Amino acid sequence: FSQSGYGLWLDYEKVNDASILSDYQNQIRSVYFLGESETLNLAREELKLGLNSLLGSSIDFSSTNSNNASITVATFDQLERKTQRKLKKIDIAKDGYYIGHDSGKIVITAKEDIGILYGVFNFIRLLQTQQPIDNLAILDAPKIDLRILNHWDNLDGTIERGYAGKSLWKWQKLPKYIDQRYIDYARANASIGINGTVLTNVNANAWVLTPSYIDKVAALADAFRPYGIKVYLTARFSAPIEIGGLSTADPLEAKVQQWWKTKIDSIYAKIPDFGGFLVKANSEGQPGPQNYGRTHVDGANMMAEALEPHNGVVLWRAFVYSEHDATDRAKQAYSEFVPMDGKFKENVIVQVKNGAIDFQPREPFHPIFGAMPKTALAMEFQITQEYLGFSTHLVFLPKLYEEVLQADTYQQGKGSLVAKVIDGSLDNHKISAISGVSNIGSDLNWTGHPFAQANWYGYGRLAWDPYLDSETIAEQWLRSTYSNDKDFVKPMTDLLIESREAVVNYMTPLGLHHMMDTDHHYGPGPWVSELPRPEWNPTYYHKADSKGIGFDRTKQGSDAIAQYADPVAKKFEQLDQVPENLLLWFHHLPWDYTLSDGKTLWNSLGIHYQKGVDQVREMKKVWEQMSPYVDPISHKEVSMLLDIQLHEAIWWKDACMLYFQKHSKLPFPKAMEKPK
């Protein structure tokens, strides 16, 4: 059972390094744990489980006897009250914690109970990753307020773009039946600092807002609450018609406003800490305020007003594009939303996908980031791998997230990082949020691919601290999940870090994008050109013809580049400055265009596709050597998945290069293996 992957990064195995183990055992003999509450009780049980398992011995826990306890755990207030002495003030921010030493003993403290739980999980992580604990002074707190998972789960149990089984939510058994899995899910999320979950698909079903479903949602909220997790729902804009019996959902109609107010009040009567709504409106056929000639501001503010007295928020998505504007889909969200800056209520957060198209293996950061200073903007990342090989391909996404978060928008001069837009520090926002489209399902190992767990984990860690580097995340995940052995950690960290570039290389190198096959979005389809909406066709994006390839977004083309702040725009506009990995995102170039390394564009394309394939081959080789450090079942599973990944990397290379060759009419570069 322990080999199924169910335990995620929280299977606490005994420390296997004898000297580190004895050091820990010497330093940790007993715990003085103060306080009782649902959350504190969970923290105590977690610490017990962690210490007993990691140290392989039973640690004494007491709530009365502080004498010589090696670890004291208590909120700051409790600590002062019990010790009857004024302690040096530590400025612990909301949800934060402090782990340090006091008179040679370890102290874990926080302002709130949830901070204690986070502190405990972080202390356990130190032991799991075999870090020294003799001189601790860790003051830590999340930099983003709302750290949310977006489940795209339907009420019938299916999941849109979910590749790891069915939905976790057993609606038919709720509210009375609380699956143990809900608790395990909440625990895993709390361990990485996630504090919110949107239970339902953005393509929403109004039924979830009916009283019997709200009872079910309330039961889930009760199960998650001790772990500090709030529930949110997606709100279908036309719900007043579908379940309310009204003839309109016009946000400026008093009866519609009243309907939402009554609905929201009734939700809070059952779920006092309900998080709020996530809304996809006037996007891909979903209803919205524009159906009534109103704007996104009208729609979002109507809901925000009803949520405000309860401290609820509206996460209003900016993922909009229309078939009626044929020039460039990448420009549409910015054009529509930026003029509305300053008009949204304070409890509206506009949720923006990381790039302007749709969760591609590589996109430049979305130009909206930094361009709406008067609006709180949430980042939306996709954890589920809709365009990156589902749960079959091994791709470490924190590398992608880091690239976006670290991008400099220059909207307020150098250093205006996307991370600062998201954490609210660039424009001093009261509220900040980040969302990750979940890759979790009912599969025994939660995420389908054992390594897809790293993407859930890494998303959570970056939601807590968007400045964390992906290498640290990779290393900590590997150590917590598999092994601390340096012969495992080093090569596997390198493998994870490289895996993202590998997928870019074998799917969409040099800034290509949206080349997947129709509907399922799996596998290559660069030839697809007949779909009814022009911007759904891959040919719309790569624009390959006998002369060349790429989307011209310069002044001569769609001018999408103008949506970026000046130094960024200049860089993207100029061929000698544009990053090569975004070249064809911004430029249409001849096949014989010479790149900085002297190769022609055509040859370079082939070489990149080949490199992607070679990188997967290398991943396979490295993994084969890892069997001493990994349980045999996981090892075999990942080996089989890597076989498929290699096969499909070759498929992408061959399909794309054969297709492009029909246009370029050029021979494949020598370094490229010929398609069979």
Residues serving a catalytic function are 284, 358, 386
How far apart CA 381 and CA 385 sit, in angstroms, is 11
Helix (H, G, I), strand (E, B) or coil at 553: coil
The residue (of 61 and 459) whose beta carbon lies closer to ligand GCU is 459
Residue 210 corresponds to which tokens in the numbers above?
């009916």
Q: What is the DSSP letter of 600?
A: B
Neighbours of 193 (CB within 10 A): 24
The residue (of 167 and 480) whose beta carbon lies closer to ligand GCU is 167
**CB burial of residue 374 (10 Å; 0-12, 13-18, 19+):** exposed
Residue 550 corresponds to which tokens in the numbers above?
């790429």
The residue (of 401 and 668) whose beta carbon lies closer to ligand GCU is 401
The residue (of 118 and 540) whose beta carbon lies closer to ligand GCU is 540
Of these, 11, 160, 325, 494, which contacts ligand GCU (CB under 6 A)?
160
Residue 527 corresponds to which tokens in the numbers above?
């030839």
Helix, strand, coil percentages in the chain from 3-state DSSP, rounded to 5: 45, 10, 45
Per DSSP (E only), the strands in 87-246 are: 97-102, 105-110, 137-140, 146-150, 196-198, 230-234
The mark string for 382-411 relative to ligand GCU (x by CB under 6 A, - otherwise) is ----x-------------------------
Segment 45 to 84, residues that bind ligand GCU, using CB under 6 A:
none
**CB burial of residue 130 (10 Å; 0-12, 13-18, 19+):** middle
User: Which CA distances in Å does 436 have to 50, 191, 348, 477, 654?
Assistant: 28, 16, 18, 18, 32
Check binding of 352 to ligand GCU (CB under 6 A). Answer: no
Neighbours of 373 (CB within 10 A): 16
Segment 476 to 505, residues that bind ligand GCU, using CB under 6 A:
none
Check binding of 280 to ligand GCU (CB under 6 A). Answer: yes
Instruction: Enumerate the β-bridge partners of residue 387.
Output: none
Per DSSP (E only), the strands in 524-662 are: 548-549, 589-590
**CB burial of residue 13 (10 Å; 0-12, 13-18, 19+):** middle
* Shortest distance, position 245 Cβ to ligand GCU, whole Å: 28
If binding means CB under 6 A, how many residues of this protein chain bind ligand GCU?
9
Shortest CA distance to 188 belongs to which of 355, 5, 17?
A: 5
Check binding of 163 to ligand GCU (CB under 6 A). Answer: no
How far apart CA 476 and CA 458 sit, in angstroms, is 10
Q: What is the DSSP letter of 344?
A: S
* Shortest distance, position 203 Cβ to ligand GCU, whole Å: 5
Helical axes 470-481 vs 453-464, angle rounded to 10°: 130
The residue (of 280 and 653) whose beta carbon lies closer to ligand GCU is 280
Per DSSP (E only), the strands in 90-145 are: 97-102, 105-110, 137-140
DSSP alpha helix (H) spans, 280-396: 296-307, 332-337
For ligand GCU, which residue has the nearest CB? 202
How far apart CA 169 and CA 154 sit, in angstroms, is 9
Check binding of 161 to ligand GCU (CB under 6 A). Answer: yes
Of these, 203, 295, 600, 661, which contacts ligand GCU (CB under 6 A)?
203
The residue (of 108 and 235) whose beta carbon lies closer to ligand GCU is 235
The residue (of 153 and 552) whose beta carbon lies closer to ligand GCU is 153
Check binding of 366 to ligand GCU (CB under 6 A). Answer: no
* Shortest distance, position 54 Cβ to ligand GCU, whole Å: 40
Check binding of 583 to ligand GCU (CB under 6 A). Answer: no
Residue 296 and residue 281 in contact, taking contact as beta carbons nearer than 8 Å? yes
The residue (of 161 and 310) whose beta carbon lies closer to ligand GCU is 161
The residue (of 163 and 319) whose beta carbon lies closer to ligand GCU is 319
List residues binding ligand GCU (CB under 6 A).
Answer: 160-161, 202-203, 280, 284, 319, 358, 386
